[in-house]
A = this chain, B = another copy of it.
């Protein structure tokens, strides 16, 4: 019988860990980066090419998929894996973040969030129970608890009440997940720590989640504009508040240097739209920092996007060609840029895993920071 969710730590280096999560649909090497497949597609890249970049798992967005094509429809069509042609693990978020940031006229209550679709204005409800149901209908492998988001600029009192509600919703998510049958089908459930930038609230949240019990724990409420220094400030203690035997997932992070610093602080999983979104706007990642391929200095540059990269884009085409494609608005430009960026992120994760296994993470991280300029 295949494993449901077995997390094994193979090596540690300081607070960092490297290991693997064995699941029914495949193994996830950690630290792991999950490309974002918002609307049942990693934008501009075929699933086989996403896999070839080194991705073990994708992220799908509950909010987008419940609105289009709809969770019940995806279920009737055999689930998200078959629908989009990706047979490895998929993590779905709870929809909470998007519903509170993208939709109109949200009405929050203890029950959940009522909202109008940003696509057609239709009315919907998201609650812990409905989020668990949708994620099960999608066929998610790692289901995220439904939580409440408040701005980082909110008062401590507002933060505390949102965290406390999120913990009540975490329990309802656990109950909804358990009664819905997703567990029996082999899915796992992650809780999400909240508490903004407050160490005491983070501790209370971590304890509440541990009492409920989850397969893994996410660190929520970061990467929302607080800046890297503040984020690292939280990551100096937050991972240590969570069960060390379970994976720790930092949601929505991030820039390459964010990831390196977070791995040093004990984070095991990441997701971010940056490699894919940047690929469509002309930003290519390299080990010395991002470059904007639209820049005129690349018009006759016959070198690859990144001289150190073995990806199909870098071995097949020049900066000059991709500069031309992106300037001309050609779809192939978005395709080649995105594929390169996915390879960049996955190579970074592979290097981080190797450095942890070799006990040389701080040397790798310092070398990375010396070379990498996020100014581009």
Number of this chain's copies in the complex: 2
The interface residues of chain B lying within 8 Å CB-to-CB of A77 are: 300, 302, 318, 320-321
Q: How far is the CA of A76 from the CA of B302 in the complex (A)?
A: 10
Binds B, one of A23-31, A40-48, A105-113: A40-48
Q: How far is the CA of A327 from the CA of B325 in the complex (A)?
A: 24
Against B, the Cβ 8 Å flags (1 = close, 0 = not) of A83-107 are: 1110000000000000000000000
Determine whether the beta carbon of A332 is less than 8 Å from that of B300.
no
Smallest Cβ distance from A297 to chain B, in angstroms?
Answer: 14
Against B, the Cβ 8 Å flags (1 = close, 0 = not) of A307-333 are: 000000000111011001101101110
Determine whether the beta carbon of A330 is less than 8 Å from that of B83.
no
Q: How far is the CA of A318 from the CA of B83 in the complex (A)?
A: 7
Determine whether the beta carbon of A331 is less than 8 Å from that of B43.
yes
Smallest Cβ distance from A281 to chain B, in angstroms?
Answer: 13
Indicate whether A335 reaches chain B with its CB closer than 8 angstroms: yes
Smallest Cβ distance from A303 to chain B, in angstroms?
Answer: 12
Q: How far is the CA of A317 from the CA of B327 in the complex (A)?
A: 31
Determine whether the beta carbon of B85 is less than 8 Å from that of A332.
no
Q: How far is the CA of A343 from the CA of B39 in the complex (A)?
A: 26
Determine whether the beta carbon of A85 is less than 8 Å from that of B317.
yes
A-B contact pairs, 22 of them (CB 8 A): A39-B325, A39-B328, A41-B330, A43-B332, A44-B332, A44-B335, A45-B332, A46-B332, A68-B327, A68-B328, A73-B299, A73-B300, A77-B300, A77-B320, A78-B302, A83-B321, A84-B317, A84-B321, A85-B316, A85-B317, A331-B334, A335-B335
Nearest 8 pairs of A and B residues by beta carbon: A44-B331, A41-B332, A69-B324, A39-B328, A41-B330, A85-B316, A83-B321, A77-B320
